[in-house]
Amino acid sequence: MDETRFHHLLHRPGTLLDIGAHDGLLTVPLAALPGSRVLAFEPLPSAFARLQAACAGLANVELHQAALGDQVGQATLTMPLVDGVPQEQWASTAKGYAGFGAQVTEARFTVPLRRLDEFALQDVTGVKLDAEGAEYEILRGARETLLRCRPVLTLEIEERHRIGATYAVPAFLDALGYDAWFEIDEVWHPIRDFDRGSMQVASSDPSVFAASDPYVFIFYFLPRETAPEMLATLQRS
């Protein structure tokens, strides 16, 4: 199941967050859901320009050219280039890419840094988060919002971007009352069944593309108080 399908099945009217929106692949379909308002965050200038173009004319979409974290100020966004070709999907505020050989260089951008809680949102129903290793800090800065609104979440969490992330991020959300799941071949598994040694083997070098099969990196988080009904909806789909 992809993230768009997940958010469609569990949609409730309200505010949806696309954190790490890139060029709007998920922003646009989220905006089409009934009763939705979308806040999309994308700090990389080239991707943000395409996001603006993709969302032109969508009155229920609010765009922010900023990174999220647990502080307010500025951050360095580092994007690797492989043989001079930008690898936008690897751009991160949590790490750099030095030391991977002459074919990998870096482009760095100073970007605004915000905390989600400072927006004081009252009706968040769904969150998609893809931040190349910065997930923990983003969630720390969203703690009050998550406790108040109880949205469903999809997170891309990868050890190759930050060692220990697949332990730390689910543990943080578990303490906030969230159950974590992943899906393989239409079968839903609790996160305790996740085997990092076989399900998430990949290099942290952006010039190396090999990965394990399966490669599980999208995790789905459901508020514990409503998780059984939500999971049943997903399993019926």
Mean pLDDT of the chain: 97
Which domain range does residue 141 map to?
3-236
The predicted pLDDT at position 1 comes to: 85
Percent of the chain with pLDDT over 70: 100
Is a pLDDT exceeding 90 seen at residue 116?
Answer: yes
Query: How many independent structural domains does the chain possess?
Result: 1
Task: State pTM to two decimals.
Answer: 0.96
pLDDT tens for each residue of 13-26:
999 999 999 999 99
Nearest to 8 by CA among 34, 44, 47, 46: 34
- Residue 194 identity (one-letter amino acid): F
Which residue blocks in 154-200 are alpha helix, DSSP H? 165-175, 196-199
| CATH code of residue 123 | 3.40.50.150
**Is 28 in contact with 58 (CB distance < 8 Å)?**
yes
The predicted pLDDT at position 201 comes to: 96
Nearest to 36 by CA among 62, 57, 54, 73: 62
What's the rounded Cα separation, in Å, for the pair 56 and 46? 16
